[in-house]
Protein backbone atom coordinates (compact mmCIF):
# COMPACT_ATOMS: atom_id res chain seq x y z
CA UNK A 1 0.00 0.00 0.00
CA UNK A 2 1.25 3.48 -0.88
CA UNK A 3 1.62 5.63 2.21
CA UNK A 4 3.85 8.46 1.04
CA UNK A 5 2.10 11.56 -0.33
CA UNK A 6 1.17 11.58 -3.98
CA UNK A 7 1.95 14.61 -6.13
CA UNK A 8 0.00 15.43 -9.28
CA UNK A 9 1.72 17.25 -12.13
CA UNK A 10 0.90 18.06 -15.71
CA UNK A 11 3.17 16.47 -18.30
CA UNK A 12 4.42 19.08 -20.76
CA UNK A 13 4.86 18.63 -24.50
CA UNK A 14 8.46 17.81 -25.41
CA UNK A 15 9.45 21.27 -26.75
CA UNK A 16 8.07 23.07 -23.68
CA UNK A 17 9.63 20.53 -21.35
CA UNK A 18 13.08 20.83 -22.95
CA UNK A 19 12.99 24.64 -22.84
CA UNK A 20 11.86 24.79 -19.22
CA UNK A 21 14.13 21.98 -18.08
CA UNK A 22 17.12 23.71 -19.67
CA UNK A 23 16.23 26.89 -17.76
CA UNK A 24 15.89 24.88 -14.56
CA UNK A 25 19.28 23.21 -15.09
CA UNK A 26 20.84 26.63 -15.68
CA UNK A 27 19.34 28.48 -12.72
CA UNK A 28 18.28 26.04 -10.01
CA UNK A 29 21.06 25.33 -7.46
CA UNK A 30 22.59 22.08 -8.72
CA UNK A 31 22.84 20.48 -5.28
CA UNK A 32 19.10 21.03 -4.74
CA UNK A 33 17.82 20.26 -8.21
CA UNK A 34 16.45 16.76 -7.70
CA UNK A 35 13.62 17.04 -10.22
CA UNK A 36 13.01 17.91 -13.85
CA UNK A 37 10.84 20.88 -14.82
CA UNK A 38 7.21 20.31 -13.84
CA UNK A 39 3.87 22.05 -13.34
CA UNK A 40 2.40 20.91 -10.02
CA UNK A 41 -1.36 20.75 -9.61
CA UNK A 42 -1.44 19.16 -6.14
CA UNK A 43 1.39 18.67 -3.66
CA UNK A 44 -0.11 16.05 -1.36
CA UNK A 45 -2.93 13.72 -2.34
CA UNK A 46 -4.01 10.37 -1.00
CA UNK A 47 -4.35 7.31 -3.19
CA UNK A 48 -8.13 7.46 -2.69
CA UNK A 49 -8.20 11.05 -3.98
CA UNK A 50 -6.18 10.09 -7.05
CA UNK A 51 -8.47 7.14 -7.75
CA UNK A 52 -11.53 9.40 -7.40
CA UNK A 53 -9.98 11.90 -9.78
CA UNK A 54 -9.25 9.17 -12.33
CA UNK A 55 -12.77 7.80 -12.19
CA UNK A 56 -14.66 11.05 -12.34
CA UNK A 57 -13.02 14.25 -13.35
CA UNK A 58 -9.92 14.54 -15.47
CA UNK A 59 -10.92 14.53 -19.11
CA UNK A 60 -9.95 16.76 -22.00
CA UNK A 61 -12.00 16.48 -25.20
CA UNK A 62 -8.91 17.14 -27.34
CA UNK A 63 -6.54 14.91 -25.37
CA UNK A 64 -4.34 17.91 -24.50
CA UNK A 65 -4.55 21.00 -22.34
CA UNK A 66 -3.60 24.26 -24.09
CA UNK A 67 -0.93 26.25 -22.22
CA UNK A 68 0.48 29.73 -22.68
CA UNK A 69 3.82 30.57 -21.08
CA UNK A 70 3.10 34.25 -20.59
CA UNK A 71 5.84 35.71 -18.42
CA UNK A 72 8.14 35.40 -15.46
CA UNK A 73 7.28 35.69 -11.79
CA UNK A 74 9.43 36.38 -8.77
CA UNK A 75 9.12 33.80 -6.01
CA UNK A 76 11.20 35.89 -3.63
CA UNK A 77 13.91 33.24 -3.40
CA UNK A 78 13.52 32.10 -6.99
CA UNK A 79 11.88 32.58 -10.39
CA UNK A 80 9.01 30.83 -12.17
CA UNK A 81 7.55 30.90 -15.64
CA UNK A 82 3.88 31.86 -15.41
CA UNK A 83 1.40 29.68 -17.26
CA UNK A 84 -2.03 30.71 -18.50
CA UNK A 85 -4.23 27.64 -18.74
CA UNK A 86 -7.96 28.31 -18.19
CA UNK A 87 -8.97 24.71 -18.91
CA UNK A 88 -6.46 23.39 -16.38
CA UNK A 89 -7.58 25.89 -13.75
CA UNK A 90 -11.21 24.89 -14.32
CA UNK A 91 -10.43 21.16 -14.04
CA UNK A 92 -8.51 21.73 -10.83
CA UNK A 93 -11.36 23.80 -9.35
CA UNK A 94 -13.78 20.99 -10.17
CA UNK A 95 -11.63 18.51 -8.29
CA UNK A 96 -11.20 20.82 -5.28
CA UNK A 97 -14.98 21.25 -5.09
CA UNK A 98 -15.59 17.51 -5.51
CA UNK A 99 -13.35 16.58 -2.56
CA UNK A 100 -15.20 19.20 -0.51
CA UNK A 101 -12.11 20.90 0.85
CA UNK A 102 -10.42 17.67 1.99
CA UNK A 103 -6.98 18.96 0.96
CA UNK A 104 -3.86 20.26 2.67
CA UNK A 105 -3.83 24.03 3.21
CA UNK A 106 -1.24 24.38 0.41
CA UNK A 107 -3.42 22.48 -2.06
CA UNK A 108 -6.64 24.15 -0.90
CA UNK A 109 -5.44 27.68 -1.60
CA UNK A 110 -5.64 29.47 -4.93
CA UNK A 111 -3.90 27.98 -7.95
CA UNK A 112 -1.55 30.06 -10.08
CA UNK A 113 -0.03 27.70 -12.65
CA UNK A 114 3.72 28.06 -13.05
CA UNK A 115 6.92 26.13 -13.61
CA UNK A 116 9.65 26.89 -11.09
CA UNK A 117 13.01 27.32 -12.76
CA UNK A 118 14.89 28.64 -9.74
CA UNK A 119 14.28 28.29 -6.01
CA UNK A 120 16.12 28.34 -2.70
CA UNK A 121 18.47 31.17 -3.64
CA UNK A 122 18.94 34.58 -2.06
CA UNK A 123 16.55 37.36 -3.04
CA UNK A 124 19.44 39.18 -4.73
CA UNK A 125 20.30 36.18 -6.92
CA UNK A 126 16.62 35.71 -7.79
CA UNK A 127 16.27 39.39 -8.78
CA UNK A 128 19.34 39.09 -10.99
CA UNK A 129 17.98 35.94 -12.66
CA UNK A 130 14.59 37.57 -13.21
CA UNK A 131 16.20 40.65 -14.79
CA UNK A 132 18.40 38.49 -17.03
CA UNK A 133 15.54 36.32 -18.23
CA UNK A 134 13.12 39.21 -18.74
CA UNK A 135 15.42 40.77 -21.35
CA UNK A 136 14.84 37.95 -23.81
CA UNK A 137 11.58 36.37 -22.66
CA UNK A 138 9.02 35.80 -25.40
CA UNK A 139 5.62 34.30 -24.62
CA UNK A 140 5.02 30.95 -26.24
CA UNK A 141 2.36 28.28 -26.49
CA UNK A 142 2.56 24.70 -25.33
CA UNK A 143 0.42 21.79 -24.27
CA UNK A 144 -0.17 19.58 -21.30
CA UNK A 145 -0.18 16.03 -22.61
CA UNK A 146 -0.97 13.86 -19.57
CA UNK A 147 -1.27 13.88 -15.81
CA UNK A 148 1.59 12.41 -13.83
CA UNK A 149 1.13 10.94 -10.36
CA UNK A 150 4.34 10.83 -8.32
CA UNK A 151 5.32 9.30 -4.99
CA UNK A 152 7.28 11.68 -2.79
CA UNK A 153 10.43 9.99 -1.52
CA UNK A 154 11.78 12.64 0.85
CA UNK A 155 13.37 14.67 -1.93
CA UNK A 156 13.26 12.88 -5.26
CA UNK A 157 10.01 11.62 -6.72
CA UNK A 158 9.17 8.25 -8.28
CA UNK A 159 6.57 7.91 -11.00
CA UNK A 160 3.47 6.11 -9.76
CA UNK A 161 1.23 6.48 -12.81
CA UNK A 162 0.82 8.39 -16.06
CA UNK A 163 -2.78 9.31 -16.89
CA UNK A 164 -3.78 10.09 -20.46
CA UNK A 165 -5.99 13.10 -21.08
CA UNK A 166 -8.82 11.49 -23.02
Phi/psi of residue 144, nearest 5 degrees = -90, 130
Whether the CB-CB separation of 70 and 53 falls below 8 Å is answered with no
Rounded-to-integer distance, Cα 25 and Cα 22, Å: 5
Rounded-to-integer distance, Cα 139 and Cα 143, Å: 14
Instruction: Give Cα 54 to chain centroid, integer Å.
Output: 18
> In whole angstroms, how far apart are CA 7 and each of 89, 125, 139?
17, 28, 27
Task: Name the percent of the chain lying above pLDDT 70.
Answer: 92
- pLDDT score of 125: 97
pLDDT tens sequence across 25-63? 999 998 888 899 999 999 999 998 888 888 766 666 567
Please give the mean pLDDT across all residues of the chain.
90
Res. 12 pLDDT band, cuts 50 70 90 = very high
Q: Decide which of 102 and 15 is more confident.
A: 15
Interval 86-103 mean pLDDT: 84
Please say if the pLDDT value at position 7 is more than 80.
yes
- pLDDT score of 85: 96
Whole-model pTM: value is 0.91
Amino acid sequence: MIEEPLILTLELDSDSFEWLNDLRKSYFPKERNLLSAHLTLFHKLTLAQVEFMKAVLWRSPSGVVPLEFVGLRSLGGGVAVEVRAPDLVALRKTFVAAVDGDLTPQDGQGFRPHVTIQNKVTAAVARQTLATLQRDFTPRAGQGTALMVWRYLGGPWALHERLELV
